[in-house]
A and B are shown apart, each in its own frame.
Chain A
């Protein structure tokens, strides 16, 4: 299996599909649009099928990198180095799994420049998978930052009314965070003489002060991407203006790059600085959980509400990561995966009703339950999962994180638990106003229930959300070895430092 370069195949297969669409001969507009859509769909499905081999060949007993590939490129400037471990493999799977649905979801809602949209999407898939697989810091930066290009185009070209503002905000915000990370990466290179993550983590021997600055530089990038509380404001704008599938990719996958970055870089490379800044991260996470939940509650726009709830859920992720224990780390990975599924599903639901009514205001809805009963059922499952009801995947992650936090700081755990209640408040409020109640808007009576295509999108997501809620071991088994390894590594590095951070 190793000799197949499976990761490279998965990473660059979508790019191949994009190339095909680009080079396909000019035909009548209708035909070429159809062709590009089905080509994109098949490319993403085949990518997913290939990635199943990855899951099949993955050895969950091993904590080191698997499917490892390494080539020196660009005259020694960097290496092309890919590999997955328990932390990254599921993000790769999540990406390949969600992509076909995104393309399905934009089947009828994207009417303008369809070929370009499909190309942008497939390129995006390549870049995202590359981000999760790369083990060379410059290669990582390459993928991580290139994501801005297709995403900027997707928001800007196919977005809503304020698309230009949102696209610019998204682009500049993330770029500013990332250039600081680039500076830190170059500093790491200058110190260790290598861009390879494995070599760097072996050779890194930093003075305390520089470790703190480097940690902060990485933090800037990941905190913007995740996003954490004070720098989250790009997210609601970007979400609201992006087309449905763009929002799905943003919420379900791009945000996870931030959390993944913390796990892959910040913690293992700078354990002491991470420990030093943990109270700071805790504070920001708690503020994120409570403040953005309250903000979510007063939103009038459905997409904005979900966007703010994403920020709150990401607050749980950072909380879990910076507990440094196995439960917390496992919990945050679990939370990221389940949020990937849930937020994707919720955005798909919003897309479905938006395609019919062309409004995202909560007040324009109400009484959907009698007109679209199937939709109401699916939407309920996803809302409950978002609220972290036991039996859904959302519960496992938050539960693990709260337990882990409790062992570190009781106050933080109490606040975090409040967040769960707050999420129930805004979640149920949204559900009540959209699905129940009297039909105030006459056009609602004319709506049709889910089409087979929409059911095809929602059913697998609902199934997985419930399945992972009932059988958490299916995921935990894959990630536990690497999480254990990471938390052991942190314990080792922090040996002799007491919990208050005083030597």
Chain B
């Protein structure tokens, strides 16, 4: 009994989220007033608190619940970022939500549940737990995608996401069953032991391929990227902000966990797949984004390309520097995305809608110089131009690749990043060089402004922040706990 409680202590953040979600659900259901505002406020507070908690809790490795969950530095670090970014997304959405439907208190609660699923995804230590966690994370996301009940596009996005998500889950399950069949276990330790044998059974490889297909769907990399642009476009903008941040971070880190964990013995087999996925995502994301006119579709393709870049780090054999560079890259990606969405959400067309066409931004620099400036910095950061944060992310990734003799992959990535730069600077061109023609109004709230300022400062002064705050050490500590 004592042991059980000591195990529970390790997942206090998750327990807090569960309790908060249930409590807030009660408050939302039984309060007569417009409850969305209160629920938003408290759920953001909860997430900020648990994010902080993850950092100060001990980072030692601990196995719990008959080894079905594992807590270590890696999971703590990643969860902290996931909770933080979810909290920021709730802040970003607050104003939109209250205006869209002041009774829709379920929105922040769905985000809470989804974050909970992500946190278990990171901690999962066997395939069954992992599957359950993925479903816990995905189901709220399907609902969120179709959150705008009165919009056909939003409904379409939800259905599309749900059907394809179910397909990917089934692929994952099928792969898991194959792996179980050939290794005799669903636990990561046992799987890694049986894969560590000199000869790897073909059945296991097939299983790994299926599992990877399921997981690559979650990070929206090519060839399982098709849902991304439609879902990004159809969903409400704040929901898109959520899609492009926390779930991406979670899925990518889960991929790290599973590839470097149970499947590390089959490195040579999955390395080819990851390299292919990486190259295809970078190329497709960058080239297709050029022609986009809808800003959310553009960001969808941009996120596909960014996943490709992140996968470069995963293509190299396990080393703490590879994992560290991936973590920092993803952190920068998440922060930049949050900043971009903070800019977009705070602008409205004359009909009171959040902007969707890129051309709506034209001449922004005259009307709202600060938003235009921070958007410019964020775009240059996405493009990887120094001295902004995005450059350091790319630098670390390419350094990992070159250190591991993946020179042609790194070269390809570098050259593709020039193509990607084109569509990012096109947005800057529209904001700065074009004349003002569409009148936008600013609908900023305190939360939006704070998010915007925090993200911009992080991006612009990344070099200083990286030098004076222990980001690198924490990421390194996190990376070391993977082995």
**Which residues on A are within 8 Å of B, measured CB to CB?**
73-75, 77, 138, 141-142, 145-146, 148-149, 152-153, 156-157, 163-164, 167-168, 171-172, 175-176, 179-180, 182-183, 186-187, 189-190
Contacts and interface: CB of A to CB of B under 8 A. Distances in A.
B425 A186 contact: no
Contacts of A189: 399
B387 A146 contact: yes
Contacts of B428: 152, 156
Given A142-B391, A190-B402, 13 more contacts: A74-B392, A74-B472, A77-B466, A77-B472, A142-B463, A148-B385, A152-B425, A156-B433, A167-B433, A168-B429, A172-B421, A186-B402, A189-B399
A180 B411 CA distance: 7
Contacts of A176: 415, 418
A436 to B, nearest CB: 39
B407 interface: yes
Contact of B466 (A74, A153, A175): A74
B414 A182 contact: yes
B432 interface: yes
A35 to B, nearest CB: 17
Contacts of A171: 421, 425
Contact of A183 (B414, B429, B472): B414
Given A148-B385, A179-B415, A167 B467 contact: no
Contacts of A183: 398, 402, 407, 410-411, 414
Given A75-B466, A142-B387, A168-B425, A175 B399 contact: no
Given A74-B463, A75-B473, A171-B425, A156 B432 contact: yes
Nearest to B425: A171
A20 to B, nearest CB: 17
B386 A164 contact: no
Contact of B398 (A142, A153, A163, A182): A182
B403 interface: yes
Contact of A179 (B417, B463, B466): B417
Nearest to A159: B433
A167 B422 CA distance: 11
B380 interface: yes
18 contacts: A73-B467, A77-B396, A141-B386, A142-B386, A145-B386, A145-B391, A146-B386, A153-B432, A157-B433, A180-B411, A182-B395, A182-B414, A183-B398, A183-B402, A183-B411, A183-B414, A190-B399, A190-B403
Interface residues of B, number: 32
A149 B428 CA distance: 11
A145 B387 CA distance: 8
A69 to B, nearest CB: 15
Nearest to B401: A186
Contact of B385 (A74, A75, A146, A157): A146
A319 to B, nearest CB: 29
B300 to A, nearest CB: 23
Contacts of A164: 429, 433
Contacts of A77: 392, 395-396, 466, 472
A129 B399 CA distance: 27
Contacts of A74: 392, 463, 466-467, 472
Contacts of B425: 152, 168, 171
Contacts of A190: 399, 402-403
Closest 8 A-B residue pairs measured CB to CB?
A: A75-B472, A179-B414, A142-B386, A73-B467, A156-B433, A190-B403, A176-B418, A186-B402
A224 B386 CA distance: 18
Nearest to A71: B467
Contacts of B399: 186, 189-190
Interface in B118-166: none
B394 to A, nearest CB: 9
Nearest to B470: A75
Contact of B395 (A138, A153, A167): A138
Contacts of B391: 142, 145
A74 B463 CA distance: 6
Nearest to B414: A179
B315 to A, nearest CB: 15
Contacts of A167: 429, 433
A114 to B, nearest CB: 13
A148 B380 CA distance: 10
Interface in B418-436: 418, 421-422, 425, 428-429, 432-433
A376 B380 CA distance: 44
A187 B402 contact: yes
A150 to B, nearest CB: 11
Contacts of B414: 179-180, 182-183
Nearest to B433: A156
Nearest to B421: A175
A73 B464 CA distance: 8
Contact of A157 (B407, B422, B432, B473): B432
Interface string B363-401: 000000000000000001000011100011001101100
A182 B410 CA distance: 10
A257 B34 CA distance: 62
Contacts of A163: 433
Contacts of B385: 145-146, 148-149, 175
A390 B289 CA distance: 55
Contacts of B422: 168, 172
Report which residue of A167, A180, A183 has the largest number of chain B beta carbons within 10 angstroms of its beta carbon. A183
B70 to A, nearest CB: 27
Report which residue of A74, A145, A153, A187 has the largest number of chain B beta carbons within 10 angstroms of its beta carbon. A74
Nearest to A174: B418
A171 B392 CA distance: 19
A191 B399 CA distance: 11
Nearest to B463: A74
A31 B42 CA distance: 47
A297 B51 CA distance: 67
Contacts of B421: 171-172, 175
B395 A186 contact: yes
B364 to A, nearest CB: 13
B367 to A, nearest CB: 13
Nearest to A179: B414
A156 B426 CA distance: 11
A377 to B, nearest CB: 38
A187 B403 CA distance: 7
A184 to B, nearest CB: 10
Contacts of A148: 385
Contacts of B433: 156-157, 163-164, 167
A183 B395 CA distance: 9
Nearest to A153: B432
Nearest to A182: B414
Nearest to B399: A186
B387 A186 contact: no
A149 B466 contact: no
A148 B403 CA distance: 28
A176 B344 CA distance: 29
A186 B466 contact: no
Contacts of A182: 395, 398, 414
Contact of B429 (A75, A156, A179): A156
Contacts of A186: 395, 398-399, 402, 410
B308 to A, nearest CB: 16
A29 B56 CA distance: 50
Interface string B458-479: 0000010011000111000000
Nearest to B394: A182
A164 B431 CA distance: 12
Contacts of B398: 182-183, 186
A74 B469 CA distance: 9
A77 B402 CA distance: 15
A326 B482 CA distance: 55
B282 to A, nearest CB: 13
A467 B249 CA distance: 62
A157 B396 CA distance: 33
Contacts of B396: 77
A425 to B, nearest CB: 37
